[in-house]
Amino acid sequence: MATVHALDVSSHSGFINQSAWEEAHRHGWTMAIVQAWGGLPGGGSGPNPYCEAQLQNARLAGDLTAIYIVIPPDTDPLTHELIRVAKAAAGAEYQHLEAVAMDIEDEDRRPLHPDDPDARLADAIANVGDKDVWIYTSLDNWTHIMRGSERFAHYPLWDGRWGPTDGLDDAFVPYGGWTRCAMRQYQRTTLLHGISADLNVASLARLGIAEDPQEELREEVERLRKWREAASIVLTAQAAKAEEIAATLRQVAR
């Protein structure tokens, strides 16, 4: 299973130039997930004013891109306007996205809807319509906000589970019908290569993203090269040993 490392950024990250994304990409951060709608630096919530530029510069640096939309608790189960505004924040970059993530978190752990949280989330997913959907949440958030619903377990889980290691499945506890996660956010806001971001590790296969066959071929070639180097070292050592034994036998024969 091939894993990739991803940076998720928001309006709090501000404008991020292409060179910063390129530097991060060179160091193995090859996916960017950008807030389209959520908390703003001045308070309140709304569309990320930097969303399109963040996506464009990350994509031009070679990254896979996606957006996330915070779905806030509300008494209205309908989300058409929220999703429309969030998608508009991505602008022309929307067409290049791998997926749209539904962000299910709330500081006060309020239900997504007082009577039917499933209906509100299902409406948000339906309003995305034209992109694959992931779900970002955590065990605690999902238990309270979605009341532990298992209706959405067929969507890839982006799990907020922070810890000292970046193993995708490290200390995962099943919930919501998920038996594993597709992506893990393992470290909160960090300044990395000039980018203020949360750190993530993901399986492309589990996210439903086709892996680059050329990259797989390059990895296989590299594995074979290393095997040949190791085999050559062993054979050279064995040949030297054989020559040493032969020399000893010739000396004895004299």
Query: What's the 3-state SS for the chain?
Result: CCEEEEEEECHHHCCCCHHHHHHHHHCCEEEEEEEEEEECCCCCEEECCCHHHHHHHHHHCCCEEEEEEECCCCCCCCCHHHHHHHHHHHHHHHHHCCEEEEECCCCCCCCCCCCCHHHHHHHHHHHHCCCEEEEEECHHHHHHHCCCCCCCCCCCEEEECCCCCCCCCCCCCCECCECCCCEEEEEEEEEECCEEEEEEEEEHHHHCCCCCHHHHHHHHHHHHHHHHHHHHHHHHHHHHHHHHHHHHHHHHHC
Looking at 36-50, 97-111, 113-127, 208-222, which range is the least confident one? 208-222
CA–CA separation, 199 vs 162, rounded Å?
9
Looking at 49-63, 120-134, 187-201, 208-222, which range is the least confident one? 208-222
Structure tokens at 182: 């597709």
Which residue did the predictor score with more confidence, 210 or 198? Answer: 198
Q: Please, what is the average pLDDT of the chain?
A: 92
Q: Please determine, for residue 219, whether its predicted confidence score (pLDDT) is greater than 90.
A: no
Q: Please determine, for residue 1, whether its predicted confidence score (pLDDT) is greater than 70.
A: no
Q: Please determine, for residue 220, whether its predicted confidence score (pLDDT) is greater than 60.
A: no
Q: Please determine, for residue 227, whether its predicted confidence score (pLDDT) is greater than 90.
A: no
Q: Please determine, for residue 237, whether its predicted confidence score (pLDDT) is greater than 90.
A: no
Predicted confidence band at 239 (pLDDT cuts at 50, 70, 90)?
A: confident
Predicted TM-score (pTM) of the model is: 0.83
Looking at 57-66, 80-89, 216-225, which range is the least confident one? 216-225
Looking at 3-7, 72-76, 132-136, 217-221, which range is the least confident one? 217-221
Predicted confidence band at 254 (pLDDT cuts at 50, 70, 90)?
A: low
Which residue did the predictor score with more confidence, 43 or 2? Answer: 43
Distance spanning both ends of the chain, measured CA to CA = 60
- Look at residue 156 in the predicted model and tell me its pLDDT: 98
Which residue did the predictor score with more confidence, 112 or 247? Answer: 112
In this structure, are residues 61 and 78 in contact, taking their beta carbons and an 8 Å threshold?
A: no
Phi-psi region of 90 (alpha: psi -120 to 50; beta: other; left: phi over 0): alpha
Which residue did the predictor score with more confidence, 142 or 211? Answer: 142
Q: Please determine, for residue 169, whether its predicted confidence score (pLDDT) is greater than 80.
A: yes
Which residue did the predictor score with more confidence, 208 or 212? Answer: 208
Which residue did the predictor score with more confidence, 42 or 33? Answer: 33
Kindly report the backbone phi and psi dihedral angles of residue 103, in degrees, each rounded to the nearest multiple of 5, phi listed first: -95, 110
CA–CA separation, 136 vs 158, rounded Å?
5
